[in-house]
Amino acid sequence: MFFISSAYAQAGGTQEANPMITLLMFGGLFLFMYFLIIRPQRKRQKEHVNLVSALGKGDEVVMTSGMLGKITKLEGDYVVLEVSSSLELKFQKSAVHAVLPKGTIKAI
């Protein structure tokens, strides 16, 4: 193996990389990253924006922290949740993870 490398080097067998192949490789890498990472993340982000914009009074939600509650008020970028009969907490709308079917909290 050592003899082949030195013989190849003596023969002047250096090859330059074709710039078109390099560009195609970078393009393929970008497409791979787009379809595997960027596109699914944008889809999830769009679904979350739709979920947050569709929130309404009376919806039962679960927050990213895991807290369950019923929306009693919407105040701009904030929601007020009733987490028990005498306790209301204020959260950012972006912290809502999912909307639950009606009656889920009473069933738990």
User: Under a CB-based contact definition with an 8 Å cutoff, are residues 82 and 69 in contact?
Assistant: yes
How far is 81 from 70, CA to CA, in rounded Å? 5
What would the pLDDT profile of 76-99 be if each residue is shown by its tens digit?
Answer: 999 999 999 899 999 999 999 999
> How many C-beta neighbours within 10 Å does residue 84 have?
8
Domain spanning 56-107: which CATH class is it, in words?
mainly beta
The answer to pTM > 0.75 is no
Token pair of 63, please?
């927050």
Domain boundaries, the chain: 17-54, 56-107
End-to-end Cα separation, the chain, in angstroms? 71
* pLDDT (0 to 100) of residue 8: 55
